[in-house]
Amino acid sequence: MAKLPIFLVGILLICSVSALADDMKYKDPKQPLNVRIKDLMDRMTFEEKVGQMVQIDRSVATKEVLNKYLIGSVLSGGGSLPSKQASAETWVNMVNDFQEGALSTRLGIPIIYGIDAVHGHNNVYKATIFPHNVGLGATRDPELVKRIGAATALEVRATGIQYAFAPCIAVCRDPRWGRCYESYSEDPLVVKAMTEIIPGLQGDIPANSPKGVPFVAGNKNIAACAKHFVGDGGTTKGINENNTVIDRHGLLSIHMPGYYASIIKGVSTVMVSYSSWNGLKMHANRELITGFLKNRLRFRGFVISDWQGIDRITYPEHSNYSFSVEAGVNAGIDMIMVPYNYTEFIDLLTSKVNDQIIPMSRIDDAVRRILRVKFVMGLFENPLADTSLVNHLGSQEHRELAREAVRKSLVLLKNGESADEPLLPLPKKAPKILVAGTHADNLGYQCGGWTIEWQGLSGNDLTSGTTVLTAIKNTVDPTTEVIYQEAPDSDFVKSNDFSYAIVVIGEHPYAETNGDNLNLTIPEPGRTTLENVCGAVKCVVVVISGRPVVIQPYIAAMDALVSASLPGSEGQGVADVLFGDYGFTGKLSRTWFKTVDQLPMNVGDPHYDPLFPYGFGLTTNPTKAT
């Protein structure tokens, strides 16, 4: 056989490589989105498709695991860190290490890495911690919330992560619920308005974008997740993961409006609620997940379970896991958060499809949606993160934004015995003032749950920030003596001739079920401190809490009362308003009850008889006087 000339061999090689490249349409960003999805799916084996549906925790993830099991996603659960006080660079290196495991698979499908960045990048050391959603709801400022979304996206990307399980668009109808602070308001219209955080996180959706298709603008934005679908804030007595008893009209009018807005704004993912609707677990509710969310609302992103969410379809959880896999996947959940027992899930899902209990069309729908989000995000073009954004983590610009959010979230509930004799704003120049209370000098209490660790922490060494006490010291005149005592007795207060006192008390940190609380009283020594101080000197009480708490018995003793919600790392925002550099503008995003016996009680209810009604908030004018 005659040898081909060298130049012909070269041409043939170039042509064959070119043909191969042309053939790999899914790797070509110039191809239409649906062409890329179809091309990749046509190449995928069943095992590769199943792998895309699995999300595992970083604690069990390795390059080898991702390669072997073809895993589609990794997450950091609350407090799941590469190391204590890990730097942004450490996070980037960890995420990239996992990503390299995914890229080394046959088709090189990148993972999407998720994290609970629910009030800033709250798991990460030195990140900016913004007020929790209940405080942001009190600002009534969707544009501010959008800017917070953009800042959070930058800080998340600074650590190499591309996906946040936020925003929570629950409509909390009972403050006894341990997740009430994750809800912007009891009013669905406020919650709907605050979905403006989604274009902050993801970028503004183009005007010509088809409804329901996910959108992520670029590598300074992240995929968002509207959660928890649906009715999570309406459970009986506010018990977490419990049953929401309401008719269809009530479900759609109270708990669904935030989802309509989120889908229009191009939200990438929706997380299913642990809770039930009229006795049926949402993780098994095909009518709402597939019938309403996917078909009626035409949502084209992917639906993700909550942490071990399908396990909890049965009680005790995981007691009939085979049924749970069948029910959850057939209901329409696309990505399953199985943090640890992923091999059991993969084996069961595989057998269910082989036995035709779960149709192959359901697997293809899930994978198509997951790939759509990954393509839209640009993960195939830019799968690996770099360290170019690390300076955004906890930047001064973001801390100033958080400080602004704190100022706007404060709600003034009482100011003097009459409008003619207000206590606030406080004079900066005074001989001696008292600062007291468990929450005055405790950054962990100030930030609440979902901060560095899942349940939150106590103390000032968890991350960077400014306590209310430090903020007060920064603000008053240099000649003013500031005395701090966490729990002074009344004799101490009476004998010191204080000009006035600031008492900062509230709830201890909690998250989810650990926060369920049927009595909503302020923990000791908060109540005793309030009584000891306010009985002896003019006082302003600042309540740091995730929800309204019992305060009616003490109001008469207070000269002024401020609801500060959970302000986060920038306590300077509290002092900014207390001392009149800025005025009070916040309005209650929740009804403040008189007694817990009234609960649940929301604006518009026939038995509505609040201590402070929804929307209440006194205002003050800024003053330059000291």
279/244 Cα distance (integer angstroms): 8
Do residues 224 and 167 lie in contact, with contact meaning Cβ atoms separated by under 8 Å? yes
Q: Report the alpha-carbon distance of residue 618 to residue 287 in Å, rounded.
A: 45
The tokens 């922490």 sit on which residue?
457
Q: Are 142 and 94 within 8 A, CB to CB?
A: no
DSSP 425: S
DSSP-assigned letters across all residues of 234-267: G-GGG-TT-EE---HHHIIIIISHHHHHHHHTT-
* Cβ pair 466, 396 in contact under 8 A: no
Q: Please calculate the CA angle 207-209-212 and round it to the nearest 5 degrees.
A: 125
* Tokens of residue 498, six digits: 């204080």
**Using CA atoms in the order 76, 79, 83, 89, what is the torsion angle rounded to 10 degrees?**
60
Q: How far from 393 is each of 95, 136, 140, 453, CA to CA, in Å?
A: 16, 21, 26, 18
Of the candidates 33, 38, 349, the one whose C-alpha atom is nearest the C-alpha of residue 209 is 33
Residue 296 DSSP class:
I
Which stretch of DSSP H or E encloses residue 433?
strand 432-436
Which residues are part of the catalytic machinery? 306, 512
Q: How is residue 622 written in tokens?
A: 């800024």
Q: How far apart are CA 408 and CA 138, in angstroms?
A: 7
**Strands laid side by side in the 500-506 sheet:** 411-415, 560-565, 539-544, 500-506, 432-436, 481-485
Tokens of 398: 């973001």
Closest CA to 381 of 14, 31, 16: 31
C-alpha–C-alpha distance, residues 446 and 255, integer Å: 29
Query: How far apart (Å, rounded) are the C-alpha atoms in residues 288 and 73?
Result: 25
Rg (CA), the chain: 26
Q: What span, in angstroms and rounded, lies between the C-alpha atoms of 135 and 161?
A: 26
**Closest C-alpha among 258, 263, 205 to residue 228:** 258
